[in-house]
Amino acid sequence: MTTDSLKKMIALDPRADEVIVESITMAPRLESLDGKRIGLLFDGRLNGDKLLWKVADRIKGQYEVGEVTFRARPNVSDISPPELLDELAEKSDVALIAIGD
């Protein structure tokens, strides 16, 4: 076998470059969920919506929550559009996201 008959192999390095992120301050915890509006953000993965509704039902069983807003990310393989996040932030006091599968 000669080297001419060998196929070349290209090796790719799957490691990402180091990313430096700015630290952020977390939102303060709520003292109670009573009267709070709950936002549910479904990421599109299998059964994530069912999980969100089950958690919301448990919360509603323990607290006198306000309106529950459900929104779904339009594309499971992409980030949530900023306008969707802005809408959910405007309509919610607290938000939940679930990943199914």
pLDDT at residue 5, rounded to an integer = 62
Is there a domain that residue 48 lies in? yes
CB 100 within 8 A of CB 49: yes
Across-strand partners of 71? 41
Count up the domains in the chain and report the number: 1
Q: What is the DSSP letter of 16?
A: P
Is there a domain that residue 25 lies in? no
Is there a domain that residue 97 lies in? yes
pLDDT at residue 87, rounded to an integer = 96
Task: Provide the domain limits for residue 54.
Answer: 34-101
pLDDT at residue 79, rounded to an integer = 87
Cα separation of 101 and 86, whole Å? 26
Is there a domain that residue 40 lies in? yes
Across-strand partners of 39? 69, 95
Cα separation of 70 and 63, whole Å? 18
Q: Per-10-residue mean pLDDT for the chain, 101 residues long?
A: 68 77 86 96 91 95 97 89 95 88 71
